[in-house]
Amino acid sequence: MTGFAIACPIDSGTSGIADHYRATIRETGVPVVQVCNVCISALWPARLRCHCGADDLAWQPAGRNGRIVSRVSVDVPKEEWERFGVSKKMTSRLPYTTVIVEPHNWPGVRMVMLLETSGAAESLTGEVSLGVEIDGTSVVLTAGEV
């Protein structure tokens, strides 16, 4: 599915639009950002109002590629890490790296993603492809090799 705009049900509140965000990703199979239909700026994490004050917001594809802004490697003991509420299935991935990515299609937007790489995380340049892993109701945004 390429190119879409699916209205955000903002009256459902912060939790409601988060549920809708995940449902939209499951349905479309791609990472999405929230776009203001009035000033065309993109938002992530999602909000109930745009910075311009408008409430006419829609999910649009984040796009295929982006640039890594920053990266953090995590190697924390499993039990400590679970206390912070990170899902247990992530323990199998330790150590892993999270990245903040700016999608090329939406300059200025900063999305948090899990770095997926076949080699060392450091070997990846700043360019990444944007993807998603769907497992039941859970949705993990991923940044991978271009």
Judged by the rule CB under 8 A, the positions of this chain that interact with another protein are 14-15, 18, 21-22, 44-46, 51, 69-76, 81, 83-87, 90, 93, 96, 98, 100, 110, 112-114, 138-142
Residues 12, 19: Cα–Cα separation, whole Å: 9
Q: How far is the CB of 93 from another protein (least distance, A)?
A: 7
User: In the complex with another protein, which residue's Cβ is closer, 2 or 15?
Assistant: 15
Cα-to-chain-centroid distance, residue 125: 19
User: In the complex with another protein, which residue's Cβ is closer, 2 or 128?
Assistant: 128
Q: How far is the CB of 54 from another protein (least distance, A)?
A: 16
By three-state DSSP, how is residue 77 classified?
coil
Q: How far is the CB of 139 from another protein (least distance, A)?
A: 6
Residues 28, 24: Cα–Cα separation, whole Å: 6
Strand order in the sheet with 42-43: 6-7, 57-61, 32-36, 42-43
Residues 49, 75: Cα–Cα separation, whole Å: 37
User: In the complex with another protein, which residue's Cβ is closer, 70 or 146?
Assistant: 70
User: In the complex with another protein, which residue's Cβ is closer, 6 or 46?
Assistant: 46
